[in-house]
Chains A and B, each alone.
Chain A
Amino acid sequence: MTKRTMTLNLTDAEMRVLEELCAKKDLSKTALLRQALRLYQVVEARLEKGDKLFFEDDRTKEKAEVMML
């Protein structure tokens, strides 16, 4: 599959978070950002359908809605 290259401008804080996540997930910056893009697309599609995004506490089963404004 053909891939295209782009330059990404991030603040120091954003770069720090990116590097922390890359270390935690053992992924390169490219792989991590591709994952983020896919997840963003999935979430956006569900929200457009009228779905809500929740996090559920695995222990208490308590749900907290993530407000997407």
Chain B
Amino acid sequence: MTVTVSPVYLFDVQRGEAAAAELWDAVTERQLADWEAEWLPELFNAIQRLHRAGVERRLWPQSRQWNWRRKVQVLQGVLAHPGFSVVCENVTQGMMIVDTTTKRCRIESQKGQHLVYVEFVANAPWNRPELVSPPRFRGIGSVLIRAAIALSQEEEFKGRIGLHSLPQANSFYANTCGMTDLGVDPNYEGLRYFEMTPEQAEAFIAKGNQP
């Protein structure tokens, strides 16, 4: 498997400065090993803290049930489902799997056009403000959304992307990414569906390029 690695930057919250990182255009065995050895123990500890603090189970991060190894195995070699990951300080900080083929735009002005659908995206537990305060790195979600937009542009979908958001990420997609909130999707576990138009994609990229 050939992996293209591109330089990106995250924000190191504790040091208050930029941190050099890498965007990989794949989820490899190395990411899966990081998920098993680094992410899962941290996630279990975080959930234990929530449980002991009396936080209701329905408010625990839903992505705790995602088995990345199984997902990657099932989608291995499937052209429609490329993956991406962000690596910093030699550890995987975030992963994403997209669908370039089976989903279409729902927004009225783009209805029926192709888009890149973000199937699964997750930060390492130590980067999630709802689990760890302060988080270790910020900016992983933005790097991955930018990667989805870049793929959409490369596939001639003009930056159009779509996704169903877990409740704790609704504000990120609406406010940080500037995506259109199409409301709760009754056919998808009651999650809100967000979509980004070509214009919104350009605005998001331009915002990221500002000094």
Contact = CB atoms under 8 A, between A and B. Distances in A.
Secondary structure of the B contact surface, majority rule: loop
Interface in A8-32: 25-28, 31
26 contacts: A1-B4, A1-B25, A25-B114, A26-B113, A26-B156, A26-B158, A27-B156, A28-B156, A31-B155, A31-B156, A34-B155, A35-B100, A35-B101, A35-B114, A35-B155, A37-B79, A38-B79, A38-B80, A38-B100, A39-B101, A39-B102, A41-B78, A41-B80, A42-B78, A42-B101, A45-B78
Contacts of A38: 79-80, 100-101
Given A27-B114, A45-B78, 6 more contacts: A26-B156, A35-B100, A35-B101, A38-B100, A39-B80, A42-B78
A18 B101 CA distance: 17
Contacts of A34: 155
A34 B157 CA distance: 13
A35 B80 CA distance: 8
Interface residues of A, number: 15
Nearest to A42: B80
B2 interface: yes
Contacts of A35: 100-101, 114, 155
Interface string B45-85: 00000000000000000000000000000000011100000
A9 to B, nearest CB: 23
Interface in B139-183: 155-156, 158
Contacts of B113: 25-26
